[in-house]
Structure 1
Amino acid sequence: MHSDASMKIAHVERVEASGRIPAQVGESPVWREAEQALYWVDIPARTIARVQVETGTRTDWVLPEKVACIAFDRNGTVLAGCETGLFAVTLSDANDVTVRRVAAPELPFPDMRFNDGRCDRQGRFWAGTMVQDMAAANPAGVLYRYDAQGLLSAPVVCDLITQNGLAWSPDGTTMYLSDSHPSRRLVWAFDFDIDSGEPRNRRVFADLNRFKGRPDGAAIDTDGCYWTCANDAGVLLRFTPGGALDRTLELPVSKPSMCTFGGRDLDTLFITSIQPATGANELDGHLLAVRPGVRGVHECDYAGLL
């Protein structure tokens, strides 16, 4: 195994108040600047959660089916990747939700759902599918693009087991995608046509078989570096645009799942996590925050209206 670069123990803060029930599978953190709030999901609990970071006030909304990834349109409606498709979700202050399915791809197996999702710099929403039984190692997952006109593409990338790691370089011309299945553990980079939304020239960007953990959700900083949550290894790995590992931040959870930059100066990395099957500690499954010394790139909302 390749030695780790610049190993550091990060000063990590727990964002939620003590006593909160941890998420089973925390995912898809999204920073809402206008609210100074962080949204995320708990997939098996079918929940979208929000915490007002300065006050600690938390609100939860329960959906009719598992929700794995979210984005917002400019009016604050949620675009959510769930089990049977993409949904427009309206969240009320009274914890009520209104859901409407806006796209439903034909899934080749019954036990599938969407997984990781994020908007590109032009506001197109990208999300991939996976077979929920990871032990099956079924490469039936594909990556879709949902454009501002409300059209779902044909599969753009195929043969994915556990799709993850979507991110775009600051100028939007490089797209990143990973497969976090234990048999893959790869991050790819693509040349990205910002006008057509087509990724080309796929190549291996980072092979985590040489490092620690599995490449789960990711974020980009203003240096163009790619931060990936190394699931099962309890660390964040930062790769330069050239694919070199230059920083490793230790975390007090074993299964970090996705990260995003937020805070007033976009200098805080918010990190969701997953409860391990055995041996969970008091922070596993909770929302964490760390200041890594760099700023992030503002993530785009969905460009259409839901």
Structure 2
Amino acid sequence: MTGTVSLERIGEMRCGVGECPIWHASEAALYWTDIVERTLWRWDASTDRTHAWTLPEMAGSFALVAEGGLALAMETGIYLMQHPEPGAPIVSEECLAMVSHASEGMRFNDGRCDRQGRFLAGTMVCDNALARAHGRLYRLDAGRRKLQTLCDGLIVPNGLAFSPDGRTMYMSDSHPSRRIIWSFDYDVDDGVPHGQRVFVEMPEQAGLGRPDGAAVDADGCYWICGNDGGVVHRFTPAGELARSIAVPVAKPAMCAFGGARLDTLFVTSIRLDGDPLSGATFALDVGVKGLPEPMLRLPDEVSEAGRRQGGGRKM
């Protein structure tokens, strides 16, 4: 069932926890974050060059902003930052929303925009060994500078993705005690998930790995990294395993479609001692096309305030 495909490594970096790859179509560039190293990475497909920026906090995920810049979900909240230029520092324009965590030692983890351009992101306790179900899934309400709680009781929220029509939301909990993917009916008008049900279970004995970061292709199939399994899986909308692709690292973390034709699957990974490829980012030719990544759309008053502010704290 597990096969291989053409695969290339991007750059020479090895991320501690490589997450949230996002293809920026107009730049022909891939962005991703190294959570534990507090770093934002960019790879330029036309020049094959990489750039890195240091962040003030760990960023579990981020969204490209339609009006320009990035919205990073970090430890203390979601921050709007100017679009970074290679060689220049990132500047924080403003805090879009502060987060009130359920307990100490928490941060944002996986997140992405729905098809309508609303940003959703989950939180987790940094120390996985504690297995505390204090995590929540939030939706950013930038106009009111608030976070709306959509789900709670999560340990390690992951695998956020949306069907092509936006009416199904997927989310996983990748903690070893959970290893489950859910699907939800998603209200495209209000941005609220409901009707939670089990989509796929990935128990340890199945050898599929733990469900981590995910993406949806143009056919509506759900791709998810099998962390600890060294594979990336493709599930049909009915939850049937259609394909498994081996990658040369034990801990693939998140995947995303990109490239000029959206037919390249980019996969980030987690660094392990003794594994020289772990932590690398890969480009896979999987023979399937993805969907353009939606951008966060900010209310006019928020984007205008960011432009007026101009300065901000240096990163």
Quickly name the TM-score band, shorter chain normalised: over 0.9
Q: CA deviation at 1:151?
A: 4.2
Q: Where do 1:109-188 residues align within 5 Å? A: 109-147=103-141, 149=143, 151-188=145-182
Moved segments of 4+, more than 6 Å: none
The residue number in structure 1 matching 2:40 is: 48
RMSD (Å), alpha carbons: 1.3
Which amino acid letter does the alignment assign opposite residue 269 of structure 2?
A: S
Equivalent residue number for residue 219 of structure 2? 223
- In 2, distance between residues paired with 1:92 and 1:54? 16
Matched, 1:288 2:285: no
Q: Does structure 1 residue 23 correspond to structure 2 residue 15?
A: yes
Deviation for aligned residue 1:117: 0.6
Distance 2:100 2:117 in 1: 24
Q: CA deviation at 1:93?
A: 3.3
Q: What corresponds to 2:255 in structure 1?
A: 259
Return the offset for 1:256.
0.4
AA matched with 2:215: A
Question: Residues 88 and 265 from structure 1, CA distance in 2 versus in 1: closer, same or farther, beyond 3 angstroms?
Answer: same
What is the total number of aligned residue pairs between the two structures? 296
**What are the superposed Cα offsets for residues 39-63 of structure 1, whole Å, 9 maximum, x if unpaired?**
0001111111101023111111111
Letter in 1 for 2:246: E
1:268 aligns to what? Answer: 264
Quick check: 1:248 aligned with 2:244? Answer: yes
Amino acid at match of 1:14: R
| Residues 218-239 of structure 1, C-alpha deviations (whole Å, 9 max, x = no match) | 0000110000000010000110
The percent of aligned pairs where both chains have the same amino acid is 46
Q: State the match for 1:9 in structure 2.
A: 4
CA contact (8 A) 2:102 2:135 kept: no
Q: Call closer, same or farther: CA 1:267–1:21 in 2, change over 3 Å.
A: closer
Higher helix share: 2
CA distance in 1, matches of 2:144, 2:237: 32
The offset of 1:148, in angstroms, is 5.5
Residue 300 (structure 1) aligns with: 294
**SS of 1:149's equivalent?**
helix
Unaligned runs of 5+ in 2: 307-315
C-alpha distance in 2, partners of 1:279/1:7? 24
The one of 80, 97, 107 equivalent to 2:72 is 80
Unaligned runs of 5+ in 1: 1-5
Aligned to 2:233, which of 229, 234, 237? 237
8 Å contact from structure 2 (residues 156, 174) kept in 1: yes
Q: How many Å separate the matches in 2 of 1:93 and 1:134? A: 34
TM (norm. structure 2) is: 0.91
Asked if residue 63 in structure 1 is aligned to residue 55 in structure 2, the reply is yes
- 1:156 aligned counterpart, secondary structure: strand
Paired with 1:194 and 1:127, the residues of 2 have a C-alpha distance of 17
Q: Give the SS at the match of 1:192.
A: strand
